[in-house]
Structure 1
Amino acid sequence: MSDYAPDWVVPVMRAGYLSRAVVYAVVGGLALVAAIRGGEAEGTTDALAELQAHWWGTPLLWLIAAGLIAYLVWRLVDAALDLEAYGHGAKGVVARAGLVVTGVIHGAIGVAVAGVALRGADGGSGGTQTMTAKLMAMPFGPWLVGLVGLGTIGAGIYYAYKGISEKYKEHIRVTSTTQKLDPVLKFGCIAQGVVIGVIGVLICYAAVTADAQAAGGVGEALGKIRAAPYGWILLGVTAVGLMAFAVENAVEGLYRVIPRCDGPDVMTLARRAKLAAQGAL
């Protein structure tokens, strides 16, 4: 292992991705039930709160919370030590800043999940609305909210692009399992991009109308999809996509390659695809 990579980085990283996998599996599964049976799809916190109906629910919530905080730690260390070799140029700096942002977001979700484990669900998806209201109250608040919304839309576009361009392959080790699951990974990234993009649109609408209540998180985004023409079909497809994104996170948790840890010669899905295109396999 490289001197630049602490020994504990890999297990922390794997715990983080596997926790994200559980989160999106629960949210996607409940959204699929809502699409089939009718009713409203639930946001992240409310969906996870459903686990408390089972005797094993609260211990699992604590494990998920710990895992999401581990994901925060992994992203911060990844960005600080450049474990994935993004470099120090403008493109690398932007990529590493994105790691910090995604880490902080999931760390915040981890704290919220711990709160659910302690106190039960508070109801609603007020996290996004509360954040929006606080920004709205600041000087130039609507402009700040608008920037957050545009940034969120950009993140959604990035996830969709990651799926369409198959950029996710760059850090996934080649195994028989990862090769078989490749179409699922692609679909999952695209679906995640759609959901995040809708959240961004809701935040932008809140900025334009100066109404923090117009903003929303995953639950509101799924609700907007459900309200569209043929919405139950769209919600069902999105729900399956979120479950596919759960698979993508599980695959990353088990098979993700860290360049500063594993070295440059590991066979990834991206490298194999490149060699296959060159006829070198």
Structure 2
Amino acid sequence: MSYTRTTVRWVARVGYGARGLVYLTVGALAINAAMEFEEARDVRGAMQEISTQAGGQIALFGLAAGLLAYSLWRLVQTTLDVDEHGWKPGGLAVRIGLLVSSVMHASLAYGCMQIAMRLAGNGGKPVQRAVERTLDWPFGPWLVVAGGLIVGGAGVAHIHKGATGGFRRWFEAPAWAMRWIDPISRFGLTARGLLFMGIAAFVIYAALTLDASEARGIEGVMIWVQERAYGRILLGILGLGVMAFGLYSVIEAFVRRVGLGRVSR
């Protein structure tokens, strides 16, 4: 059991670190877009950017392994309930969100491998494609709405966690460190929450209008922000928030309490 606990901790910490590196890159690209009048890019856009750098292919293989580790950790959180969310409606909602996160990050790991192996093109709107396919299913619009509500719920949960400092209960860090960890985490969680709520709004609107082209992912939401009045300023602030979430994830890799809950006792 000790070996299992150690393995789970390493998988979780590597996963948090990989997620952090991805969002740090996305945030940096958003800030660059705000300053250089370029279009903002999403997670896959960040991976494409990494692939163009020296040693980028090797870095992408490592990043894919890290994202897969994070997906596995989310699956452990869901199935073994290591954070003890329980079976009440609120706890089940959290665990469903963790399962969705597991699937999403497994998909990102696969996409990262494709880019590393030069099997994926630069263009692509995965959220829009997923909505387009789902709309053709029986009860497709309702399924898309349900998906949008799940994403929106995750966004609200992020903002709530940032506003209330709910993340603190999982962090094992000295008081002096929490003085700077706390504002970074709050800012980052709020920024990611707003991004998720934006994605949810566009996805639900696409379902209601039966027009998949209205659906937007991270890139689409950022471009929408960029096109508003004072869009460059807003995009720059959002980019800083996304980078803060990346830092929050890297911090989690070092100080988050990771275990097997009741299973380990």
TM interval, shorter chain, is: over 0.9
Residue 149 of structure 1 deviates from its aligned partner by 1.4
Q: Which residue of 1 aligns with 2:104?
A: 105
1:152-163 matches, within 5 Å, as: 152-163=151-162
Q: Which residue of 2 aligns with 1:132?
A: 131
Partner amino acid, structure 1, of 2:191 = A
Partner amino acid, structure 1, of 2:38 = G
Tell me the distance in 1 between the aligned counterparts of 2:109 and 2:240: 23
Q: Which residue of 1 aligns with 2:245?
A: 245
- Spell out, residue by residue over 1:39-59, the C-alpha distance to the aligned partner (whole angstroms, 9 max, x if none): 210111022111122221111
Q: Which residue of 1 aligns with 2:223?
A: 223
Tell me the distance in 1 between the aligned counterparts of 2:183 and 2:31: 20
Which structure's relative contact order is higher, taking Cα pairs within 8 Å and 6+ residues apart? Answer: 2
Tell me the distance in 2 between the aligned counterparts of 1:236 and 1:121: 28
Q: Which residue of 1 aligns with 2:75?
A: 76
Name the SS for the 2:117 alignment partner.
helix
Residue 94 of structure 1 deviates from its aligned partner by 2.4
Say if 1:46 and 1:121, in contact at 8 Å, map to a contact too: no
1:1-281 matches, within 5 Å, as: 6-119=5-118, 121-175=120-174, 176-258=176-258, 260=260
Residue 118 of structure 1 deviates from its aligned partner by 0.9
Tell me the distance in 1 between the aligned counterparts of 2:131 and 2:92: 27
- Spell out, residue by residue over 1:221-240, the C-alpha distance to the aligned partner (whole angstroms, 9 max, x if none): 10111111111111000000
Say if 1:46 and 1:125, in contact at 8 Å, map to a contact too: no
Question: TM-score, normalization: structure 2?
Answer: 0.93
Say if 1:2 and 1:260, in contact at 8 Å, map to a contact too: no
Tell me the distance in 2 between the aligned counterparts of 1:59 and 1:140: 43
Residue 121 of structure 1 deviates from its aligned partner by 4.6
Q: Number of aligned residue pairs: give it.
A: 262
Q: Which runs of 5+ in 2 are unaligned?
A: none
Question: TM-score, normalization: structure 1?
Answer: 0.88
Name the SS for the 1:39 alignment partner.
coil
Residue 259 of structure 1 deviates from its aligned partner by 5.2
Q: Which residue of 2 aligns with 1:271?
A: none
Taking every aligned residue pair, what percent have the same amino acid on both sides?
34
Tell me the distance in 2 between the aligned counterparts of 1:168 and 1:181: 10
Say if 1:125 and 1:217, in contact at 8 Å, map to a contact too: no
Tell me the distance in 2 between the aligned counterparts of 1:81 and 1:126: 33
Residue 145 of structure 1 deviates from its aligned partner by 1.2
Tell me the distance in 2 between the aligned counterparts of 1:2 and 1:171: 21
Residue 73 of structure 1 deviates from its aligned partner by 0.7
Tell me the distance in 2 between the aligned counterparts of 1:91 and 1:109: 27
Range 12-21 or range 95-104, more displaced: 95-104
- Spell out, residue by residue over 1:31-79, the C-alpha distance to the aligned partner (whole angstroms, 9 max, x if none): 0000011121011102211112222111111111111111111111122
Tell me the distance in 2 between the aligned counterparts of 1:100 and 1:160: 19
Name the SS for the 2:33 alignment partner.
helix
